[in-house]
Structure 1
Amino acid sequence: MKKRKFRQGLFTAFFIFLLTLLNGCSSSKDPLVVATHIWPGYTFMYLADQLGWVDTAQISFQNTYSASESLELIKEGKVEAATLTFDEVIRARSEGIELTVVAILDISAGADQVISRTRLSQLSDIKGKRIGVEISALGAVVLSHLLDQAGLTKDDITVVDITIDDQETAWLDGKIDCVITYEPVARKLIMAGGYKVFDSRSMPEIILDVLAVKTATLHKREQITHLIDAHFKALRHFDVQREDALYRMAPRLGMEPDLIPFLFEGLLLPNRSNNQRLMVGSPSKVERVGNKIIEVMAQSGLLNAPVNTDNLVDSRFVSP
């Protein structure tokens, strides 16, 4: 009797293991569901799709309005990957959402700017000023570098928390003396008499937009590789067939084709070899940047918990 129960238990355990194995194999063949919102550096996946280079059997896009919405869909288990800034990946990890960076989509090289109401003879002249900044990871990183370059600390300025959509109004109302911002607000403030006194060219390869995948979904290697290959192929098309690319990207970006190049001012678009340069190594350049961002975010009180950096970057998908 005991022997028969033991055999039944053994058979049941084996059957459950077999079902789990089969389910795992099946899920690895399902499309990778990717959340993405509108941003110039994310548009090449859309361009690749327009050109027929994305296999819908392997990739399914979920359009969102913001990175916050994309992260919410990841939390709910409705998507498995998203286009995000690197600091957003780190914040997600602090909240227990394990994401892994599999590609660098763009790098801010002047896109993030500090606009001053008055001319400054030197950067340290921001001492005593009211600095408008959106208190986010990205804002904290730019502010930290600004103060370092100026030789100042937070105690030397007044930080005014202002989201991007309220910055122009705050500027026109005279509530701030300087503001950490980006396009299209930066251009509007300069046209209103502001002066650019600092930008992300002074902090190279720090502000990154990335493709991040749930760490538990990295087994979908074929789908991830397919998407990244399509991205690089579209990036190449943008270089050699610019007019065609701009025409195809216009509906997504909601702009006339001839205005789209302005959106890419201050952005670097790393190809496969540059991705490898940034992501390969132990620690890689991206991992070192991640540690710096974690330090800044921790000092600014933007992390809910310590960040696990295991599997933060996976360079396999950008390798030849």
Structure 2
Amino acid sequence: MYEPMYFRVLLILFCIFLLGCTEQAQTPLRIGTNTWPGYEPLYVTQKKYPEFQTQIKFVEYRNASQVLNGIINNSIDVAAVTLDEAVKIKTLGYDIQVVWVIDESFGADALMSLHYDSILELKGKKIGVETSALGAYFLKRFLEINQLKKSDFEIVNLEVNRHYSAVIEEQVDAVLTFDPVKSKLLAAGAANLFDSTQIPGEIVDVLIVNRYDFNANQQAVLSAFLAANSKTVAAINHNITPYFHSLNNRLNLPEAQFYASYQQLHLFELDKVTDWYAQVDTQKQLVKRFSSVLKEEQITSQDCDCDDLISSVILDMVRNEK
């Protein structure tokens, strides 16, 4: 008498189990970014391949601080950040790993001023900086190279989505910013007083994940996506012109500014990613420098235990898919 009911209950439970598995398998990989030319090929790749339109979901943030909060709070699975930002949250106790390197800035990050043409003229004036993100390190290097002190200026904490309006409305006298804001300020007549060509190799963008929350299925999706993205980047590096509209969808730059912007960063193809990973000593020195600056600026209270910060697992998977 009870057997049919027993088997019916088992069948219902089994169906619920299958439904749960299906939903888990279909959960897209959430990648968080702010707006930066180096991240745009990721968006192009997702639109180009139908499978990634369901497997990948981009979460767009207004600034880097929001991206960092997204990975800390597990609102996203993968975050596009600068390497110094990765060192920062690792030092603060979050067990993240760098799993990919995207690009290197070579002029696309800059100190821009609308009314002052020299650093000397800027002394005593207000400089807007997103101090919770890359801006803190960039500011430190600007001061070091020009033999200046932070007290020579009035530093205003300013998130990047406010940089352009703050300069135009004269709320600050200069900003340490990056493209597309840099190009838009240039077009408005601003002067470039310092940029990342003066610190080559130091501003690199990477993808990070929460190490213990990133499962095998997510690794497989990300590696397949990055293998496809490497082909996109290779095509862009060969001839960017056909990609003008797709890359410029979020940047919204005039044509001349768009091409100038991409001349000021190096997009990493697979071979370049591999080369970067092979430069272990250079990475260690750079991470040590980031850690030291963060501690000096009292953003962190200790040195980074970063021995396992950079992981080549995804790179190995991508190379096997090549």
2:153 is the alignment partner of 1:157: yes
Conservation of the 8 A alpha-carbon contact between 2:137 and 2:294: yes
Equivalent runs, 1:174-189 vs 2, <5 Å: 176-189=172-185
Return the offset for 1:110.
0.6
Equivalent runs, 1:48-59 vs 2, <5 Å: 48-52=45-49, 55=52, 59=55
Conservation of the 8 A alpha-carbon contact between 1:54 and 1:227: no
CA offsets per residue over residues 224-269 of structure 1, 9 Å max, x none? 3212211211111223453433343344545677864344242111
**Alpha-carbon distance between aligned partners in 1 of 2:205 and 2:67, rounded to the nearest angstrom:** 14
Return the offset for 1:80.
2.3
Q: CA 1:289/1:100 → structure 2, altered by over 3 Å: closer, same or farther?
A: same
**Match of 2:225, as an amino acid?**
L
Determine the structure 1 residue equivalent to 2:7: none
| Secondary structure of the structure 1 residue equivalent to 2:44 | helix
**Match of 2:268, as an amino acid?**
P
Determine the structure 2 residue equivalent to 1:147: 143
Determine the structure 1 residue equivalent to 2:242: 244
Q: CA 1:179/1:52 → structure 2, altered by over 3 Å: closer, same or farther?
A: closer
Return the offset for 1:68.
4.1
Determine the structure 1 residue equivalent to 2:267: 269
**Match of 1:244, as an amino acid?**
P
RMSD of aligned residue pairs (Cα, Å): 3.5
**Match of 1:46, as an amino acid?**
Y
Q: CA 1:316/1:181 → structure 2, altered by over 3 Å: closer, same or farther?
A: same
Within the candidate set 96, 105, 111, 1:114 is matched to: 111
**Match of 1:293, as an amino acid?**
F
2:10 is the alignment partner of 1:44: no
**Match of 1:106, as an amino acid?**
D
**Alpha-carbon distance between aligned partners in 2 of 1:273 and 1:94, rounded to the nearest angstrom:** 30
Within the candidate set 276, 279, 292, 1:278 is matched to: 276
| Secondary structure of the structure 1 residue equivalent to 2:31 | strand
**Match of 1:115, as an amino acid?**
M
Return the offset for 1:188.
4.6
Conservation of the 8 A alpha-carbon contact between 2:105 and 2:201: yes
Instruction: Indicate the larger mover: 93-102 or 123-132.
Output: 123-132
**Alpha-carbon distance between aligned partners in 2 of 1:192 and 1:257, rounded to the nearest angstrom:** 15
Return the offset for 1:277.
2.3
Normalised by the length of structure 2, the TM-score is: 0.75
| Secondary structure of the structure 1 residue equivalent to 2:127 | strand
Conservation of the 8 A alpha-carbon contact between 2:31 and 2:56: yes
| Secondary structure of the structure 2 residue equivalent to 1:307 | coil
What is the count of residue pairs matched by the alignment? 292
Residue identity over aligned pairs, in percent, reads 25
Structure 2: tracts of 5 or more residues without a match? 1-23
Q: CA 1:127/1:255 → structure 2, altered by over 3 Å: closer, same or farther?
A: closer
Conservation of the 8 A alpha-carbon contact between 1:54 and 1:230: no
Return the offset for 1:109.
0.8
**Match of 1:266, as an amino acid?**
Q
Q: CA 1:107/1:210 → structure 2, altered by over 3 Å: closer, same or farther?
A: same
**Alpha-carbon distance between aligned partners in 2 of 1:46 and 1:94, rounded to the nearest angstrom:** 30
Normalised by the length of structure 1, the TM-score is: 0.75
2:212 is the alignment partner of 1:212: no
**Alpha-carbon distance between aligned partners in 1 of 2:117 and 2:251, rounded to the nearest angstrom:** 34
| Secondary structure of the structure 2 residue equivalent to 1:92 | helix
| Secondary structure of the structure 1 residue equivalent to 2:98 | strand
**Alpha-carbon distance between aligned partners in 2 of 1:69 and 1:178, rounded to the nearest angstrom:** 23
2:133 is the alignment partner of 1:137: yes
